[in-house]
């Protein structure tokens, strides 16, 4: 009997077993959020033996707003610059930042904020590496509420002005801050909706 098919099968099985030994754990920085607010997930990837981990291309964000889990686009991933690695006992850390569904139509309306309506949401992360089965993390929950007071005023302006909305929902590094957004930042410097814009301007300097 030829040995090559048996060896190939053994290699496939060993790869699958190694991948299934990958364990993912996530936690949100905040569990109480406002509509449209960014969710930051801090994650840890572990393995009891050896497992491949590709945070740049292998991580998928799943969100359940009441109708079951669906995959959603990312706004920004701090894991973007982390190269694929082989985990052999030392945990790998990663972060995912989720706010806007860049693929659209899967959470909320097409091209909408991921957390576009008040309610309770569940979030999980899945990892797939090459042809191996996906590995899912634990599930975390966040509660989304409607903004009040100054935050409601800021949110209304974000939704009313397309250039402001586009800047705050970008995928890659944006250009200069629009004048309308700069005026909002000056008037409401403590708004949760505007902290990312303030940080981006600091980085540009």
Mean of per-residue pLDDT scores for the chain: 77
* Separation of first and last alpha carbons in the chain: 68
Which class for 188: exposed (0-12), middle (13-18), buried (19 or more C-beta within 10 A)? middle
Q: Which helix (H) or strand (E) holds 97?
A: strand 92-98
Q: What is the pLDDT of residue 138?
A: 96
8 Å CB contact between 94 and 79: yes
The distance from CA 117 to its chain's CA centroid, rounded to whole angstroms, is 18
pTM higher than 0.85: no
65-to-52, 76, 106, 196 alpha-carbon distances in Å:
30, 20, 10, 24
Structure token pair of residue 58: 């292998």
8 Å CB contact between 118 and 144: yes
Q: What is the pLDDT of residue 149?
A: 97
Pairing of strands 135-136, 85-87: unpaired
The span from the CA of 167 to the CA of 175, in Å, is 8
Q: What is the pLDDT of residue 33?
A: 94
Which residue ranges of the chain lie beneath pLDDT 50?
A: 1-19, 75-81, 104-110, 171, 202-205
């Amino acid at each position: 009997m030829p040995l090559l098919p048996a060896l190939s099968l053994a290699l496939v099985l060993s790869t699958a077993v190694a991948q299934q030994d990958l364990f993912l754990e996530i936690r949100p920085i905040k569990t109480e959020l406002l509509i449209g607010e960014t969710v930051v997930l801090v994650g840890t990837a572990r393995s009891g033996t050896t497992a491949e981990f590709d945070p740049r291309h292998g991580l998928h964000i799943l969100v359940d707003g009441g109708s079951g889990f669906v995959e959603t686009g990312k706004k920004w991933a701090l894991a973007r610059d982390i190269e694929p690695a082989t985990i052999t006992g030392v945990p790998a850390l990663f972060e995912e930042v989720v706010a806007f569904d860049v693929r659209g139509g899967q959470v909320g309306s097409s091209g909408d904020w991921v957390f576009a309506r008040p309610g309770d949401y569940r979030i999980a992360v899945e990892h797939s590496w090459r042809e191996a089965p996906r590995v899912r993390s634990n599930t975390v929950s966040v509660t989304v509420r409607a903004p009040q007071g100054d935050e409601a005023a800021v949110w209304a302006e974000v939704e009313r002005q397309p250039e402001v909305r586009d800047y705050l929902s970008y995928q890659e590094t944006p250009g200069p801050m629009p004048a309308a957004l700069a005026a909002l930042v000056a008037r409401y410097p403590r708004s949760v909706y505007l902290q990312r814009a303030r940080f981006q301007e600091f980085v540009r300097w």
